[in-house]
């Protein structure tokens, strides 16, 4: 593959943008390929190379790169009627109605412009509502580029994970390992009366893909209820992807107090949202006193893209298609691992998938071939990553430096590190899956 054009573009970019990119994860070494355009389930780069795209914008593009006619028409009409107004529009109400109708834990919703803004606002709302300052998050979790969750360390021994964040932010953030029921019990026993909320993804989608073990969500729900704290599900990735329109909370049968959304709900445009029980969400200004506001919030173009995307999904068998392809990828990769890399683990569910280069355990009879679901009867159960630290202990360097570039040369675009999920879209085909599996077979 020739990458001359991308290299020249990166050379120019380095002079005018820090690290040459606008989001850190894009700064693939030695330089990223620059995308010229999308085409269904593929992207074509500035040098004309074509890749099967399983990054899909890091999650927003459930339908792939070619928007259905209804979505395209709605976006073009909105853009041509004047992109935004600073006054409410009907389309915001329609999207809010759609979300509240389908997501069990959501009675009201406030739209914002990114997943980060959603988690910032949800944490502020939880603190304002409970009158408490502390939040509990999972070690290694990602909730966007925000002060309260960019922490490292364990339990109350946390520190900011980036310069520029005062120590005092981290003082209010407690961390526990995902799936460790004992740890979260202990943290509540010690700090329960000061905890405003537990904030977690229902499935860790930004740090491996780690499924909850049996009863973990219920433990979080029971503890938050017992201590008068809120349970916030960050469904920025899983929302409208895992469990279909009911989202992961519907699939797992858990009832969070607040839910954050982003990615898919904006149909490919910048978006975030905070949903939940009316009694809590109405604490946002102007109904309540927890300040929240935004010039671009509820942007008509975004709202139209999100609404028409979700309507299209509701009227077509999109989830059947993407989930079936996801299953074929996961089980196809599992078969390859059994022969070629039996210590590795296939993870994911619905249309999410990944291989984690774990170091121990054998693939064999009875494993969760459709992706690890933390099934205690699975022979691999004890070897499957249960939390962020387990994923860190896998071969992250080999994944990033050897595996990812080789897959790219095979024409398969994966998320460029071991931690972030990959996605199947409605535009992917059986042939894409076959080709990708052939590439896995050659590269693994």
* Active site members: 142, 234, 263
- Rule CB under 6 A: is residue 299 a binding residue for ligand PLP? no
Are 28 and 39 in contact by the 8 Å Cβ rule? The answer is no
Binding residues for ligand PLP restricted to 305-344, rule: CB under 6 A? none
Please identify, using beta-carbon distances, which residue of 220 and 437 lies nearer to ligand PLP.
220
Q: Give me 80's structure tokens.
A: 């041509």
Are 218 and 249 in contact by the 8 Å Cβ rule? The answer is no
Q: Which of 6, 49, 116, 351 binds ligand PLP (CB under 6 A)?
A: 116
- Rule CB under 6 A: is residue 139 a binding residue for ligand PLP? no
Site map for ligand PLP, 185-214, x if CB under 6 A?
Answer: ----------------x---xx--------
Cα 443 to Cα 67: distance, rounded to the nearest angstrom: 32
Please identify, using beta-carbon distances, which residue of 64 and 144 lies nearer to ligand PLP.
144
Residue with tokens 């406030």: 110
Cβ-proximal residue to ligand PLP, closest one = 115
How would you classify the pairing of strands 173-176 and 134-138?
parallel
- Least gap, CB of 69 to ligand PLP (angstroms): 27
Are 84 and 296 in contact by the 8 Å Cβ rule? The answer is yes
Cα 129 to Cα 230: distance, rounded to the nearest angstrom: 9
How would you classify the pairing of strands 230-234 and 157-160?
unpaired
Please identify, using beta-carbon distances, which residue of 144 and 298 lies nearer to ligand PLP.
144
- Rule CB under 6 A: is residue 158 a binding residue for ligand PLP? no
Q: Which of 32, 68, 115, 385 binds ligand PLP (CB under 6 A)?
A: 115
Cα 89 to Cα 74: distance, rounded to the nearest angstrom: 14
Q: Which of 125, 170, 196, 236 binds ligand PLP (CB under 6 A)?
A: 236
Using the rule CB under 6 A, give the single segment among 136-144, 368-376, 377-385, 397-405 that binds ligand PLP: 136-144
Q: How many Cβ atoms are within 10 Å of 179's Cβ, its own excluded?
A: 23
Secondary structure (3-state) at 290: strand
**Footprint on this chain of ligand PLP (rule: CB under 6 A):** 114-116, 119, 142-144, 201, 205-206, 234, 236-237, 262, 272
């Amino acid at each position: 593959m020739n990458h001359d054009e991308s290299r020249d573009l990166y050379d120019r970019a380095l002079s005018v943008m820090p690290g040459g990119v606008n989001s850190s994860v894009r700064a693939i070494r030695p330089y990223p390929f620059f995308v010229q355009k999308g085409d269904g389930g593929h992207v074509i780069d500035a040098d004309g190379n074509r890749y099967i795209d399983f990054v899909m914008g890091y999650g927003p593009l459930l339908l792939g790169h070619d928007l259905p006619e209804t979505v395209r028409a709605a976006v073009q009409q909105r853009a041509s009627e004047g992109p935004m107004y600073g006054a409410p529009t009907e389309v915001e109400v329609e999207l809010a109605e759609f979300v509240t109708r389908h997501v069990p834990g959501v009675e009201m919703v406030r739209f914002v412009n990114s997943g980060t803004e959603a988690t910032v606002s949800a944490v502020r709302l939880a603190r304002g509502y409970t009158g408490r300052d502390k939040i509990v998050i999972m070690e290694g979790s990602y909730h966007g580029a925000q002060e309260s969750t960019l922490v490292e360390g364990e339990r109350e021994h946390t520190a900011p994970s980036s310069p520029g964040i005062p120590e005092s932010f981290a003082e209010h953030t407690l961390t526990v390992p995902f799936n460790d029921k004992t740890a979260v019990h202990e943290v509540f026993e010690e700090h329960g009366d000061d905890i405003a909320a537990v904030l977690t993804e229902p499935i860790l989608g930004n740090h491996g893909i780690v499924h909850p073990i049996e009863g973990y969500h219920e433990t979080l729900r029971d503890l938050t209820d017992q201590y008068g704290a809120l349970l916030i599900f960050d469904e920025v990735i899983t929302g409208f992807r895992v469990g279909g329109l009911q989202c992961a909370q519907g699939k797992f049968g858990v009832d969070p107090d607040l839910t954050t959304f982003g990615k898919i709900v904006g149909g490919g445009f910048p978006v975030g949202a905070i949903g939940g029980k009316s009694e809590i969400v109405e604490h946002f200004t102007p109904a309540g006193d927890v300040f929240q506001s935004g010039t671009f919030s509820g942007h008509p173009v975004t709202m139209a893209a999100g609404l028409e995307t979700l309507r299209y999904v509701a009227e077509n068998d999109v989830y059947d298609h993407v989930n079936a392809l996801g299953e074929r990828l996961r089980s196809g990769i599992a078969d390859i691992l059994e022969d070629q890399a039996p210590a590795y683990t296939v993870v994911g569910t619905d249309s999410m998938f990944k291989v984690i280069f774990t170091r121990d355990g054998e693939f064999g009879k009875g494993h969760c071939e459709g992706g690890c679901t933390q099934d205690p009867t699975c022979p691999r159960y004890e070897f499957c990553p249960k939390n962020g630290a387990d994923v860190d202990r896998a071969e992250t360097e080999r994944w990033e430096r050897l595996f990812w570039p080789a897959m790219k040369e095979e024409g398969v675009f994966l998320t460029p590190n071991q931690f972030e999920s990959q996605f199947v879209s409605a535009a992917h085909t059986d042939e894409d899956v076959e080709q990708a599996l052939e590439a896995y077979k050659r590269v693994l």
